[in-house]
Structure 1
């Protein structure tokens, strides 16, 4: 390897390009994480197969098929918005949450974490004395969006009173589980 060539390439290197590439890569990665395991993931796979078909038809010289596939390109942006409308709404909601930017249960402030654990322990102790079962899940690295979307979102801080009320046998939610984020 010729080091003078490497040095000449590095001299023309602009740090803004590296920052730009890293930012776009990170954003694509986060969007793929949001889509994974959802209907959007299947659509992404379908679009990938479509683009591969366009490239292969051009490479093999299949003029009619290539022309037909390319006629679908102008419809692409509108079709993507229609197909991904629920996912786009969900992605914009996630974009505004601290968890999207890397903050999760493991990165809560120590005081918040202590308060939450104390509330859960107190609730579980109370429920145990009353012989009431409770399924409480702490979301960490594995996303539970698919499960959460099928339930009732309370969007509340975990407290002893709330958890005991949810699992009390007379309430509509008592047969479910609680996901704490």
Structure 2
């Protein structure tokens, strides 16, 4: 729940400062979910912009700056540098999510970076939210589902804005 709670804080911040993004989300939700219903996981594939917003929040909202340490099982060479067996290694997630070669203009909140020209979700595999590969967090998919459901329900019913 900690990941989802922190992500929701970032959602509020980003949506308050980007009312145009919030309006696009509302329009997309209204086109898919009946007003008397709440968004469900089954709606996820029909709400690509909304899902892209969740991914952008997780990318830019910097939950955890690094992974838990893992120990090298064998000597490993990376870019000419040998990492000996038994040495703990920690991945810097912020360096991946802020890399301009992977995410152009990385400090800008831009959910469209996760959409194709025809509006389909893309590029989410480039993200490093909690870890990578086989050592990825088991709860990551649950956290993304929770975030999606919470955010869609909030945006469907409320206008998140800064008080004058």
Return the TM-score normalized by structure 1: 0.23
Higher relative contact order (Cα pairs below 8 Å, separated by 6+ residues): 2
Is the radius of gyration larger for structure 1 or structure 2? 1
| Structure (1/2) with the larger helix percentage | 1
